[in-house]
Structure 1
């Protein structure tokens, strides 16, 4: 591991509230999760605005650690809580991708074939485990970080929450030559460059879907699993919620959140869509989609859920959208592609980026129009394995 969140330079017990006359550079090195609230209180009483801003900056950069510390987060005002989170989400938003190995042919040529279990496949030594980010101005991909060796790149679930990248579950090789599902969960902080481990899942999962919604993480299903569990960052705890209906899905399903609800589709019954209501802790069936193909991914934008299907027979990509307000499916745009390959999607602003190793499509969503842009962006030239896209906010240059 590259380090533990917020543990880079802890002060000694006798120096929990440094002298506020220190220089700005000195003070930034002395602030920690243990003393940040005391320094903030002293800075307020002495009118030390510069120090107060540095403390807010520390709290923003180490948000998860502050969130889990009752003596800090519990004593902040509502306005201060909003401030440090807003600062954390500021900065330069970038499209990022992680090299992974999903363990099955998503949207492959055999539409009705059963996905191959990653537990039966070989080691993940062909995956380089890097995370790339795209610079919009130059349209060049650069390496941002790498997944530590302890993090599984095969069959894991990934998503972002509070501008952290979380990686949960997956498959790990053991000394006896067999592979087993993992319960381990890690997160990456792009503001500090540090990877850390959080509370493990309540049960090992591979081929799960990891989705963030309303300040929680949801680990959905996985191979041979219908169970769903929810992670609360403030208590660093996973708890079981209502499972997926029995017989609904195999692995290879898609999941997204929209309007405070979870939506799950795909699997062995391609056209079905399930909705999870967190207030009632219940799943219910949504109207069927007309497509009978295995979707390659599903994402949400405003009140719409967009489903992307790869059609190898007609050499293209078809888009369907579900209006979560009026609960109706609509046919959408299509895009011709020779030998179309599966891809995964991420939403940045009013564009949905569809990424695989060969290219990145841009699907623009505007009130007056929506559809694929003619400009096809490159993907990381040296990337290996399947690419999992997501969006992070980096510090401004």
Structure 2
């Protein structure tokens, strides 16, 4: 990337990577850049309206959404960006019901789910809310079992999965899954490692927990979850110890 970032949003849209906001050498960022694999180069894209770090990003219907994060204070604001359209700028949507820093933002079945995080009024959060892109409204959903801040979150096999994150004292390894049909959270097998500020990624019909940090420091190891056996196992580690990164 042209700008070094941590705690930023990274999404894939139309075979391009978009790196959005975060924290860099000059502080909290509002900038956006996109990677074009054919040209093997990063190019700037429209800057956001608000500088934010520890937000999260997701894609629905060729549109990038970014919610929450921290600027002067924990934020509940959200913006969206549709590349290759006019005007070439970020636009605002309805704010979330709750300010959230270090949240998980997951696109699933045409909805946005904002999960967990932290704010100054409530502390660590176990709450979840859902945004309907048709009605343009947020509604509260069923709480997770555990408070989670800088968690890993992903849509996988018709459900939402959340793992790790900072809990009431330190990084945790617990995981749970949400079924939108029954509106229920169910705990699943805990990860082998305690992790916060890491990435949870669905790939090849499995979930991968990558990197992060815990009481022992930065993490380079990777573990994979098999939903059929409800077990985690270690796989090949990353080449570097990373946290607050994008995948």
Deviation at 1:320, TM superposition (A): 0.7
Q: Helix, strand or coil: the match of 1:345?
A: coil
Deviation digits for residues 61-102 of structure 1 (CA, Å, limit 9, x no counterpart) = xxxxxxxxxxxxxxxxxxxxxxxxxxxxxx941112113139
Partner of 2:93: 198
After superposition, the Cα gap between the structure-2 partners of 1:310 and 1:204, relative to the gap in structure 1 and judged at 3 Å, is: closer
Report if aligned partners of 1:258, 1:301 keep a CA contact under 8 Å in 2. Answer: no
Please name the residue that 2:154 is paired with: 256
How large is the RMSD of aligned CA atoms in angstroms? 2.7
From 198, 209, 212, the counterpart of 1:296: 198
Change (3 A) 1:342 1:239: same
Query: Which deviations, in whole Å up to 9, do the C-alpha atoms of 1:276-326 show, x marking residues without a partner?
Result: 111111111101222234462111124211101258989972111112244
State yes or no: 1:167 paired with 2:70: no
The aligned residue for residue 242 of structure 2 is 341
Question: Comparing both structures, which one devotes a greater share of its residues to strand?
Answer: 2
Partners of 1:316 and 1:336 within 8 A in 2: no
In 2: Cα distance, 1:126 partner to 1:315 partner: 22
Q: Which runs of 5+ in 2 are unaligned?
A: 1-12
Of residues 221, 231, 240, the one that matches 1:328 is 231
Matched, 1:286 2:195: no
- Using a 3 Å threshold, how does the CA distance of structure 1 residues 302 and 229 change in structure 2: closer, same or farther? farther
The higher-RCO structure (CA 8 Å, 6+ apart) is 1
Residue aligning to 2:28: 127
Q: Once the 2 structures are TM-superposed, how far is the Cα of residue 345 of structure 1 from its aligned partner? A: 3.4
Q: Return the index of the structure with the highest Cα Rg.
A: 1
Aligned pair count reads 223
TM-aligned CA deviation for residue 125 of structure 1: 6.2
- Deviation by residue 1:159-191 (Cα, 9 ceiling, x = unmatched): 221121111122343xxxxx3x32221101112
Q: Please state whether the residue corresponding to 2:220 is helix, strand or coil.
A: strand
C-alpha spacing 1:152/1:244, structure 2 compared with 1 (3 Å): farther
**Which residue does the alignment assign to 1:214?**
109
Partners of 1:163 and 1:182 in 2: CA distance: 24
